Amino acid sequence: MAQIGKDIDFAISLLEADKLVGIPTETVYGLAGNALSEPAILKIYSTKNRPKFDPLIAHTNSIEAIYELVKDIPGKALKLAENLWPGPLTLLLEKSDKIPDLLTSGLPRVAFRIPNHQLTLELLNKLSFPLAAPSANPFGYVSPVEADHVNEQLGNKINYILDGGRCEVGLESTIVGFEGENPVIHRLGGIPVEEIEGLVGKVEVNTNNSSNPLAPGMLKSHYSPGRKLIIGDIENNAEEHKDLNIGIISLSEDYSHLAKKNFTLSAEGDLEEAACNLFRALRLMDDPQIDLILTEEVPNTGLGLAINDRLKRAAV
């Protein structure tokens, strides 16, 4: 298994040698490698068993560093960056020739973000290159929100995991691209649509699941807990499947009387708390004792949009 710790200098030595390191962010843990090195990028794809037509997100520590690697940052993109970075926002920008085509799956735009996690920002400050860092899990599986989750899934394939505690947001970043100056959301995530629209006006939401994605995280089948998951009325579905060992994930109501395992995302119905707990709940239900997972949609507003998006992909 991988070593877990807080030794930034050791992590740097591995990354500079084109090896991979698990890193914490406020969203989920990432599987990090040099974003400008094709050998490192190839290791990310092979370690995750991720298809090479699914592009990766690059992480860095400043807008100035991004300017050196893209052709331009549109005005509205810059406004989002200045107000929401560091944070769970990813921007799709026209890449320069310094960005390997392998990172973007041959697409002309590169995904960049500045993560809001002190340990990883310290790491990025000491590096001379950005880090490609998709979620640190086998492709299609539930994203990790603790260092131990990374070790359980990839510990036999990497040497080191920086331990930054549990991720505070728990959902991947919101991805925003631009058609001219018009912003388009390609993936719902840790920043609500309403907050983005408050800064740049009305945005188009285009999260169509695809086998030929325009941005990271758009593939239809994703975030799978390895058990069949049904979304709907929990009590009715529990009655219909009462002969099975059921795991239940609910927003705020306790269904422990109906389930082998029960996870309430937020007793108060708080969508931020629910988002933070979602992947932990899905991971808990990936248990040989559970035959079927039942869950329900949450209010389709704010972070609820992203929570429902992840549940629908997990149910595919």
pLDDT-based confidence at 293, cuts 50/70/90? very high
Cα–Cα distance between 105 and 56 in angstroms, integer?
8
Return the half-sphere exposure (C-beta side, CA atoms, 13 A cut-off) of residue 314.
32
- pLDDT of 38 > 70? The answer is yes
Mean pLDDT of 59-75: 96
- pLDDT of 167 > 80? The answer is yes
- pLDDT of 63 > 80? The answer is yes
How many other C-beta atoms are found inside a 10 Å radius of the C-beta of residue 292? 19
pLDDT-based confidence at 229, cuts 50/70/90? very high
Closest CA to 301 of 206, 194, 204: 194
pLDDT-based confidence at 140, cuts 50/70/90? confident
**pLDDT tens figures, 92-108:** 999 999 999 999 999 99
Mean pLDDT of 47-70: 94
The CA distances from residue 16 to 68, 154, 160, 216, 236, in Å, are 20, 20, 13, 24, 54
Q: Which domains does the chain have, with CATH numbers?
A: 3-205 (3.90.870.10), 229-314 (3.40.50.11030)
- pLDDT of 221 > 60? The answer is no
And the tokens for 295?
Answer: 């869950």
- pLDDT of 74 > 70? The answer is yes
Residue 113, pLDDT score? 98
Residues 6+ apart with CB under 8 A from 89: 80, 81, 113, 173, 174, 176, 190, 191
88-121 b/e (C-beta count within 10 Å ≥ 16 → b): bbbbbbebeeebbebbbbebebbbbbbbbbebbb
And the tokens for 207?
Answer: 């999260």
- pLDDT of 274 > 90? The answer is yes
- pLDDT of 224 > 80? The answer is no
- Report whether 69 contacts 95 (CB < 8 A): yes
Give bridge partners of residue 231 from the DSSP assignment: 295
Residue 219, pLDDT score? 65
pLDDT-based confidence at 220, cuts 50/70/90? low
And the tokens for 235?
Answer: 């009590």
- pLDDT of 210 > 60? The answer is no
Return the half-sphere exposure (C-beta side, CA atoms, 13 A cut-off) of residue 74.
17
